Structure 1
């Protein structure tokens, strides 16, 4: 029984030894150019066994390069069957073909096809970058291969710093990086001088002796003579298949490092490093790409900060006047010229003060009058009101005191002045106890109000003089009807404010018999102002986001240009085994990296601009939300607008990409 098993195993081994590594049957290849179909290969049949040194020779246009692309899984035949180790290549998808190229094939091109911005070491280890091989292992293997090929002192030189022969040896090292079981050499001596050509052919013969399968594409019969087997193509057909010498005993090809597929995290990390390298090599283009993102992010942050600051400033100013206030004006709703309408009287104020939700109600009889002191005249607003005014308006007296109820009853000629009046009328002295003329009526200053600043409408609230209502109405204005009534409510809660509003409305309607008054709810005004400012902030934000989108479009355009410029690089990466997903990830991460870098710079610029604006005395509001929003938009911009170029790069045809100039 044991002998039978040994015999079966030996028979199977012999069968495997005789089975060709590559088998093609009836392979045809045609290209469609508009309505014209050009057939390049006409039903080829060919077997290539492991370890053979085969030269495919033919003149230009014979189809030898097309055949090489099919054999190297860079292209697929239009018709016919291609078997690699007995497996149908036609059944493989793009990623499976990429994996096959990565693990089984190594390409040596006539024009070397090295990455111009990478060193000899980086070019040699490129195929291993799409495997799970670690960084140190890649460096060690690439260094060992370059040393074997006599390039140990040129590892950190770029292709432009190497001779043609040295560049071709780097490409051979790259072909061997993942094992190079099959070396496909397309006119490897075509761009070399005779001596360098001899050295390259000697290397290929040495690799063949070690067991590598060498498929040499050439038009030169002298070069083809180095091969053990010569296959001649003419007009897409095999016209000769002969051996120059007896088939060499088959030698087991040296195994490669055997690395598998990298993990997604490893793929992403390597793609990030590749992206940074590409961005550094094209620093000027990168700067232009960053500019749109930087401006967009900075605009979002600064505009939202300015908008939020302006909104808060308006709300604060209105709130400073009292967010719990109702203001009653004379005149029917929608009636014009309400200041001259005589419908509100002091007795209405007294009645309003009796309501349970009212903290204080005060009349306000206002108008501009001339102030005079020591030959200096100025005009200021006079406000005849009640002693409860500081309570109603939440406006404190800074020095001295406000007038009292007794002053009101005695028609006292006392006044409390604002900060602007104090500075202008009493620049060199303490105004308390001093006298001044208001319309030629002598008043004594008994208090100075705290500084209030400008109103939401830009009026200087400190350019004012307060006098008792009785005195002002009799001696300054000559009238009793009121310009308005200010009503302070016990709470600024919206529901309480609305209830108080209804109570005041009902009271005045009952007293007057007709609705000859208007009530303005300060809480509603604040809400309306807030909504208005929010709308303006949103508008500013939309404008800023539009600029960010424009920057994103710039990223997409630049990346599309980058894909076009780097088409050959993409073809090289695909030839050494990069999957479509890895190419897509590389360009997508490149776009996202640009966007994130632009986002960081934009955040710094936006915060800096906002700080400068704030230092100039403008109202701004720093918040983390706009920063996160802007940075998040930058990330999404890179992700969304980078996807189209990345997808285009991943879908490139390897053959066409390699042929790109």
Structure 2
């Protein structure tokens, strides 16, 4: 491999003189540390790794820090690269005190000034060579096209033109190390920190990497190699030896490159991207991470999908049940008043003889009343040619169809004349017609009601079940005069149904008040109870709304459980990807950017789960509706469920995201 292979910054795609970094002030070393110590606390035991290190490194130096295992060289590298902080002592970088920098400023310094080359390469396993090389630039304002072009140019110069779209597992050790060097140079790589760069390589690959580092030093990069191998250290211009946390020797064997100070390396610009770019790149990173582990993503989605689907289907069923009850009550007549015998709250009022048909006649004189009919009801046995059944018999007035808004499907209803003549005629419901006359048209047929012969003159239209589950079509209507005399043997009525001229609440209330006053005047005491159908509908609606709310709460609880699942799996994800987080921090990602990435992953999962859950919920609701269950498709539950899924991802994703952002870079990089 020739030297020209390593001419990484001579190409105009790679270098821009307008973007050169600020150099070191005259007389000021690039790196200066004084009295630096580092200690680690393990329970009650304190272990001091570095003891009072004093060191200066000039711009363009090619330095090897050599020492045996445990000498403190890797700890020193981490401090030099701003991945770790000293316990005591001072560290100046280009004259600026590093201890005065906050975590974001340290991240910006790592992103703009340092490039790391690790012994184990520390490449992202799910990304190809180009994506790994361009990683540091993803945290800058460089656009995607420029970032990709620079990464490809660097990889090409490093002899990886044919392998740049391969993942780390498809590359040899030497190729992976060259990818890590390209990553180190992506933002300029003013200082290259190489930790045992040849430790995992064969001898030939190791020599190539050392030659590359030498060439980078000659181009103006400051190269610091951490090694235990004196043969590797011999390639450096300056060798610093560490033993037990002390510098035991510091020898310069060759002078720095004459161009080191005059031509500092330049990057493409490392300014911080705006929030929109951060958000867009975080979404792309999140999608990439989710795609790499489909099974875990599917498990994360499952809880959200079930929760959202439950919210939509349960609310749709609840709303459908409410609407069904309201429709059934309304079908009975939303303009109705029902008058019952007995004082309000009196038990056993059905047997109280306080209402008479004359009360209904008097109520009919009220202007706001369309029709008032007495009803005398009870179960009686019906017979016809060997068939018999029990059904409800209702003795009422001829104006019953008007009062109850119930049409006759066949034949006709009995008349006032039938009432006056005590005619034995009957109008039957659809259930009675099917069961008593299954093989013939019931009109004109005769039947026995309690052994009294009645002729069928009409069949009512089908009404279905009442809100209380009673079959309204299993009924026989007869003239009040006939029924009271020949079937029930009494004149007092079970109830009086009053139809107002309008269902307008004001008209209904006026009719209610006038009926109350009239009956109070006629009876002298309040021995009756009036129920307003509008009030019944309102009460039923409130009850069903409460049930719907209960169903919604249960569904939301399932969504919360799904959110807890998201949090747990995301916490597992953070643990599994600790090294990845350390790599991202090492190349300059701020804590906020790490937090944003993991938070967006959680939100993305929640939103994706929301979309699938909405589709599943609507599908379940449609299937349930196809079986005849009343459901109501509405936009509000869908928006509510989708909004809840977003909030679930946001709320339950924050804890894992915060945990990821708070990781220590050094410990994260050391994680297996």
Give the shorter-chain TM-score range. over 0.9
Structure 2 partner of 1:500? 511
Post-superposition Cα deviations, 1:218-270, rounded to whole Å, max 9, x if no partner, equal 11111111000011112222121111123331331331112421121111111
> Residue 520 of structure 2 aligns with which residue?
509
Mean alpha-carbon deviation: is it higher for 118-127 or for 520-529? 520-529
Quote the residue 1:581 is aligned against.
592
Q: Which residue of 1 aligns with 2:426?
A: 415
Match of 1:217 among 217, 226, 247: 226
Matched, 1:140 2:149: yes
Determine which of 136, 149, 152 is the counterpart of 2:161. 152
CA separation in 1, counterparts of 2:531 and 2:139? Answer: 72
Contact preservation (8 Å) 1:325, 1:489: yes
1:312 aligns with 2:323: yes
Q: In the alignment, what sits opposite 1:5? A: none
2-structure distance, mates of 1:236, 1:491: 97
Alignment partner of 1:447 is 2:451: no
Contact 1:50–1:250 (Cα < 8 Å) also in 2: no
1:3 maps to none
Could you tell which deviates more after superposition, 257-266 or 278-287? 257-266
Match of 1:34 among 37, 43, 56: 43
Q: Quote the residue 2:642 is aligned against.
A: 631
User: Which residue does the alignment assign to 2:473?
Assistant: 462
Between the aligned partners of 1:377 and 1:548, the Cα distance in structure 2 is 54
Correspondence for 2:59: 50
Q: CA deviation at 1:640?
A: 0.5
Bigger drift between 247-256 and 202-211 goes to 247-256
Deviations 1:446-490 (A, max 9, x none): 222111001111111111111111111111111101011111122
- Size of the aligned set, in residue pairs, is 649
The reply on whether 1:229 has 2:210 as its aligned counterpart is no
Paired with 1:37 and 1:183, the residues of 2 have a C-alpha distance of 31
Distance in 2 (alpha carbons) for counterparts of 1:15 and 1:112:
30
Q: Which residue of 2 aligns with 1:385?
A: 396
Partners of 2:656 and 2:472 in 1: how far apart? 60
The question of whether the paired residues in 1 share the 8 Å contact of 2:220 and 2:257 is answered with no
Q: Which one is further off, 143-152 or 424-433?
A: 424-433
SS in 2 for 1:416: strand
Matched residue, 2:447: 436
Following the alignment from structure 2 to structure 1, what is the Cα–Cα distance between the partners of residues 606 and 23? 59
For 2:507 and 2:64, how far apart are their aligned partners in 1? 97
- Tell whether 2:270 aligns with 1:273: no
Secondary structure of the 2:90 match is strand
| Equivalent residue number for residue 191 of structure 2 | 182
Secondary structure of the residue that 2:426 maps to in structure 1? strand
Per-residue deviation at 1:632? Answer: 0.3
C-alpha displacement of 1:506: 2.5
In the alignment, the residues of structure 1 paired with residue 24 and residue 527 of structure 2 have an alpha-carbon distance, to the nearest angstrom, of 112
- Asked if 1:90 corresponds to 2:114, the answer is no
Q: CA deviation at 1:430?
A: 2.6
User: Which consecutive aligned stretches of 4+ in structure 1 deviate over 3 angstroms post-superposition?
Assistant: 13-18, 493-496
**Structure 2 unaligned spans of 5+:** 1-21
SS of alignment partner, residue 25 of structure 2 = helix
Q: Which residue is 1:283 aligned to?
A: 294
The one of 108, 129, 133 equivalent to 1:124 is: 133
Which of these residues, 522, 527, 530, is aligned with residue 541 of structure 2? 530
Alpha-carbon distance, 1:657 to partner: 0.8
Of 247-256 and 572-581, the range deviating more from structure 2: 247-256
Counterpart Cα distance in 2 of 1:420 and 1:562:
63
Q: Paired residue for 1:300?
A: 311
1:347 counterpart = 2:358: yes
- Cα deviation, 1:602-639, whole Å, max 9, x if unaligned, reads 10110000000000011111101000000000000000
RMSD of the TM alignment (CA)?
1.6
Q: Does 1:250 align with 2:248?
A: no
Asked if structure 2 preserves the Cα contact closer than 8 Å seen for 1:24 and 1:80, the reply is yes
Deviation at 1:17, TM superposition (A): 4.3
Measure how far apart 1:14 and its partner are: 12
- Quote how far apart the aligned CAs of 1:74 are: 0.9
Q: Which residue, out of 195, 200, 204, partners 1:191?
A: 200
Q: Which residue of 2 aligns with 1:482?
A: 493
User: 1:157-213 CA deviation, whole Å, 9 max, x = no partner?
Assistant: 111111111111110111011111110001111111212111111111111111111
- Residues 592-607 of structure 1 correspond to what in structure 2 (within 5 A)? 592-607=603-618
Q: Please give the residue correspondences for 1:67-82 in structure 2 after superposition, counting only pairs within 5 Å.
A: 67-82=76-91
Q: Match of 1:103?
A: 112
Which of 139, 163, 181 is equivalent to 1:172? Answer: 181
CA-to-aligned-CA distance 1:369-425 (integer Å, 9 cap, x gap):
222223322222111101111111111112222122122112122221111122222
1:102 is displaced (CA, Å) by: 0.7
